[in-house]
Structure 1
């Protein structure tokens, strides 16, 4: 296939959120997002997306995102923005600012580096 023949793929979602649902025992050395309270946060986010009828936003439960001791973690695509929300208010702000209005919530952004 050459450049003129590139396949145009439709974008199904304006934002696609992947939220870590990994759950390990509390004593596990890697920790886990679930042990950090993530599941209640993701539940709140899902309900907010549904309540606000954000049909162009998808929330997908994910396995480990690779930075276990940093959680709870989520990433918003196609922007590639990683967030570490810790409160219900953080979730509300991400939904309103980033997912509704397209404005990143800088105070909740986490910059991750692979070692």
Structure 2
């Protein structure tokens, strides 16, 4: 029997979960958002260091309206209508500045930025 190797992940400050499922965005906008994040995070200096952001795809959050939908963890902040322009705001204001973009938040769970919206 082969030995299972323990995976390793580098340190990160936030983890972005992007819904790429067809019920959220029937025309592939969620996947396009995910694909664009690498360049956006790199341009903002968020691919290394203290503010490093990790990103992952999710196939469904069961929040199937107003997509693309993005969740920022551990902050517990859920965004809807994450267009390329709105993603630029989220990167600048939330990921770099630490303050959620209130007009794009549809749910705020427990977490580091858990303030009533």
Q: TM-score, normalising length from structure 1?
A: 0.71
Q: Which runs of 5+ in 2 are unaligned?
A: 1-9, 109-117
* TM-superposition CA deviations, 1:77-97 (whole Å, max 9, x none): 000000013422101000111
Alignment partners' CA distance in 1, 2:26 and 2:79: 15
Counterpart of 2:36 (choices 22, 44, 53) is 44
RMSD: 2.1
Task: Return closer, same or farther for 1:107/1:36 CA change in 2, 3 Å cut-off.
Answer: farther
Task: Could you list the structure 1 runs, at least 4 aligned residues long, displaced by more than 3 angstroms after superposition.
Answer: none
Task: Return closer, same or farther for 1:75/1:86 CA change in 2, 3 Å cut-off.
Answer: closer
What is the 5 A alignment of 1:25-64?
Answer: 31-35=23-27, 37-54=29-46, 55=48, 56-64=52-60
Alignment partners' CA distance in 2, 1:81 and 1:41: 17
Q: TM-score, normalising length from structure 2?
A: 0.70
What is the 5 A alignment of 1:16-95?
Answer: 16-23=15-22, 31-35=23-27, 37-54=29-46, 55=48, 56-95=52-91
Aligned length: 95
Q: Which runs of 5+ in 1 are unaligned?
A: 1-10, 24-30
